[in-house]
Amino acid sequence: MNAVLVSLTLALSLATGQFAPQQAASDPLAPAREARVQVLAKKLRCAVCQGLSVADSPSSMARAQLDKVRELVSAGKTDEEIVDYFVARYGEWVLLEPRAEGFNWFVWLGPVVLVLGGLFVILRQRQPLPEGAVATEAAAAPSPSSPPAPSTDDADPYLQAVRRELER
């Protein structure tokens, strides 16, 4: 039931175009500054939601964070200072996109290393054919019209039953 209510709330907010309305206490900003606020809010994770940005979250905590971003933009802080403020307060978890520094390099480079490692393993498994092997394989391959050669394991009763069914 809660999931249905959250889904309906999100759908209604998307339909009306109001992702995080201003609270009564926050002053409206100029359009250029408000656009900057929205860009910054898209980079920050809501403190109570799972994987939603401050701009997209319908929670009151997200609105409070958005108001704090507006306040810091009005105070003349740079984007980096605003992001640093939230990182100092909530930790690096608050960033939707982790910074590419220190231990976070594993997050950025891990997928690339895994893909390259997988390609290495795949290419290592493929062994090159010796010269003339293509002609030998073509000569050794059975023609499509001839029946397959019987297996040497004729003692298996299951295989015998399968062969009898196939011959019918």
Domain ranges of the chain: 8-99
Looking at per-residue pLDDT, the higher value among 78 and 109 belongs to 78
Residue type, 2: N
Is the pLDDT confidence value at 86 over 70?
yes
Is the pLDDT confidence value at 24 over 60?
no
Question: Is the pTM for the entire model greater than 0.85?
Answer: no
Q: What is the mean pLDDT of residues 121-147?
A: 64
- Counting residues of the chain whose pLDDT is more than 70, the rounded percentage is 63
Report the distance separating Cα 110 and Cα 87, nearest Å.
23
Q: Decide if domain 8-99 falls under CATH 1.10.8.640.
A: yes
What was the pLDDT predicted at 142? 58
Q: Of the given ranges (14-18, 55-59, 102-106, 147-151), which has the lowest mean pLDDT?
A: 14-18
**What residues contact residue 86 under an 8 Å CB cut-off, 6+ apart?**
44, 65, 94, 95
From 66, 69, 92, select the one nearest 81 (Cα to Cα): 69
What was the pLDDT predicted at 25? 44
- Residue-wise pLDDT tens digits, 109-125: 888 889 999 998 888 88
Report the distance separating Cα 58 and Cα 19, nearest Å.
7
| The Cα angle at residue 42 between residues 39 and 48, in degrees rounded to 5 | 145
Is the pLDDT confidence value at 34 over 70?
yes
